[in-house]
Amino acid sequence: MTDMSHTPSTHSAPSSGSTGTERRPWSVYLMFGLFGAQQGMLGPLMPFLRAEFDLNLRWTGLHFAAYALGLVLIGIPYRWLERRTLPIGTGRIAVGSIVLASGLFAIAGGLPMTLPGSVLMGLSGGLVMAVGQTMLGKRYRQQAAAKLVEAHIVAGLCVLGGALLVGAATAIGLPWRMAPLIVSAWALVMFCAPLTIHRPESAGNVSSETAPDTLYPQRLTRLSLWALVILGISAEWGVGFWGAEYIKTHVQTTASVAATLMSLYFAGTVCGRLASSYALRRVSPLTLLTSVILSAMATLLVLSSIEGLVGTAIFTFVLGACLGNFFPLILGAAMRVAPDASSALSAQASQAVGVALLLAPFLLGLLSERIGVEAAFSLLIVYPLLMLPLVPALRGRWSVGNTAQHPME
């Protein structure tokens, strides 16, 4: 990715106008699609694993924890790869890890393979996301936020696609193993194809439009990014995991209707990111992030106060549009402040996602057992509330002027 040479960067970011008209980096976006497909199929696969391997709910839940653990551990292989210039290229290595992880899951013969397979799925998904985010950060620098949002639109669509793939394959009589096998085959095609993501980058061959990382972000920027991502993902997936149960209880409807309404939430995340990709042509990512946080708080308040089915459906969609923008806007704002530190920022953001997925749904479930799912769900407003005072820590005024070079930790 980089040779870690500490030379001042003289590269300029593409103008906002050019980023809106140039060809989109679809090969990088497809890497995010692999991440989304793996994440989307894991949950729908669990009923089939339970039936085939006779697993109880505790062992089933451990697969989600194992996936999140893989995301947390992403920093270890990522930093090792980052310090080396490999002829195969980090893009091909990241895509190859998807081939291995999904392929292992497809041939799993029991719990001793499905649990490590879940860890590998988290690790490989985090790796393609971290590498893809770094590629976008290096190429687009201060203007990377819009491209990150577009990449996460692809990821969001593929999360839905991964779930639909499991349902479609099993509905026509194919085994559940066909879904991870198809994802593995998709990754294998990308691994073999002569895509630009496979070109190894070094100080000698970085093009004029792709800047090498030369700085390590300030401690305040790193800590605020870590905290904001954990809070943002905790809110997004707290709703994602427990939203259907809340709707079923709060609106007094059936589980089927509640699940259908939750599909509006995930559709909202995609539509919200699409709207943000256009808004970022005129508004800075930090300003848009603040607006989205405030909108999420207002939407959560409205959702807790209404009980009608139509109103709940509308505001569930709006909530998805707000919460789905948290991660790409947080990372985009950080890269705008520290454009020469995209590698470090990307790795830390991916790890923070893993921490949030590992802890947040479990803690919300534990709280629901004690005070009820409606009361616990209403407390999700605490996450965006805590985010507001942390947003200024990403501002340039606390990062500009420090040119000290920090070694990679």
- Domain extent for 138: 18-198
b/e 20-50 (16+ beta carbons within 10 angstroms → b): eeeeebebbbbbbbbbbbbbbbbbbbbeebe
Q: Residue 316 — very low, low, confident or very high, per pLDDT cuts 50/70/90?
A: very high
Pairwise CA distance, residues 52 & 32, whole Å: 30
Residue 42 has pLDDT above 50, yes or no: yes
How high is the pLDDT of residue 238? 84
Range list of H helices, 107-254: 111-140, 144-171, 178-192, 219-250
Same domain, yes or no: 159 and 25 = yes
Q: Which two tokens stand for residue 362?
A: 């479990």
Name the helix (H) or strand (E) containing 17.
Answer: helix 16-21
Residue whose token pair is 């294998």: 188
Is the domain of 191 the same as that of 250?
A: no
Burial zone of 185 (CB within 10 Å; 0-12 exposed, 13-18 middle, 19+ buried): middle
What are the φ and ψ backbone dihedral angles of 176, each rounded to 5 degrees? -60, -25
Whole-number pLDDT of residue 397: 52
Q: 152-200 pLDDT, tens per residue?
A: 889 889 988 888 888 888 889 999 999 999 999 999 999 988 766 655 5
Grade residue 302 by pLDDT with cuts at 50, 70 and 90. Answer: very high
Q: For residue range 84-95, list pLDDT tens digits in order.
A: 776 677 888 889
| pLDDT value of residue 260 | 76
Looking at the structure, tell me whether residues 194 and 282 fall in a common domain: no
Q: Are residues 186 and 297 in the same domain?
A: no
Residue 271 is predicted with a pLDDT of 92
Structure tokens at 174: 């194919």
Distance of CA 390 to the CA centre of its chain: 20
How confident is the model at residue 394, as a pLDDT? 80
Given a cut of 60, is residue 97 above it in pLDDT? yes
Residue 203: what pLDDT? 38
Residues 159 and 242 in one domain: no
Q: pLDDT band at 398, cuts 50/70/90?
A: very low
Do 171 and 239 lie in one domain? The reply is no
* 300 confidence band (pLDDT: 50, 70, 90): very high
Q: What is the predicted pLDDT for the residue at 197?
A: 62
Q: Is residue 407 part of a domain?
A: no
- Between CA 272 and CA 268 the distance in angstroms is 6
Residue 223 sits in the same domain as residue 194? no
Residue 293 has pLDDT above 90, yes or no: yes
User: Is 138's pLDDT higher than 70?
Assistant: yes
Q: How far is CA 150 from CA 275, 304, 348, 400, in A?
A: 10, 31, 20, 28
Shared domain check, 228 and 365:
yes
What's 60's domain CATH number? Answer: 1.20.1250.20
- In-domain check, residue 53: yes
Residue 1 has pLDDT above 90, yes or no: no
233: helix, coil or strand? helix
Q: Tokens 């209404």, residue?
A: 306
Answer whether 41's CB lies under 8 Å from 162's CB.
yes
Count of domains observed in the chain: 2
Are 161 and 35 in contact, with CB atoms under 8 Å apart? no
> Residue 369: CB partners within 8 Å, gap ≥ 6?
none
Does 281 map to a domain? yes
Specify if 262 maps to a domain.
Answer: yes
Are 217 and 399 a contacting pair, CB within 8 Å? yes
Is the distance from CB of 362 to CB of 238 less than 8 angstroms? Answer: no
Is 51 within a domain? Answer: yes
**Nearest residue to 272 via CA among 229, 316, 238, 227:** 316
Long-range contacts (CB closer than 8 Å, 24 or more residues apart) made by 17-20: 19/140, 19/143, 19/146, 19/147, 20/146, 20/281
- Say whether both 299 and 342 belong to one domain: yes
Tokens 């590698």, residue located: 343
Q: Output the pLDDT for position 22.
A: 56
* Residues 169, 32 share a domain: yes
Q: What is the pLDDT of residues 226-264, one digit of tens each?
A: 999 999 999 988 888 778 788 888 888 887 788 778 878
Task: Examine the fold and report which residue of 135, 167, 198 is the final residue of a domain before the chain moves on.
Answer: 198
> Distance from first CA to last CA of the chain, Å, rounded?
16
Average pLDDT, the chain: 80
- Kindly state whether residue 365 falls inside one of the protein's structural domains: yes
What is the b/e burial string over 232-249, where b = at least 16 CB atoms within 10 angstroms of the residue's CB? bbbbbbbbbbbbbbbbbe
Least confident range of 163-172, 279-288, 304-313, 357-366: 357-366
Say if 181 falls within a structural domain: yes
DSSP state at residue 397: G
For residue 212, count other CB atoms closer than 10 A to its CB.
Answer: 20
- Please, how many CA atoms are within 13 Å of residue 251, restricted to the half-sphere of its CB? 24
26 part of a folded domain: yes
User: Which residues fall within 8 angstroms of residue 325, CB to CB, at 6 or more apart?
Assistant: 149, 269, 272, 273, 276, 288, 289, 292
Do 250 and 143 reside in the same domain of the chain? no
Q: What is the DSSP string of 19-51?
A: HHHSPP-HHHHHHHHHHHHHHHHHHHHHHHHHH
Same domain, 232 and 123: no
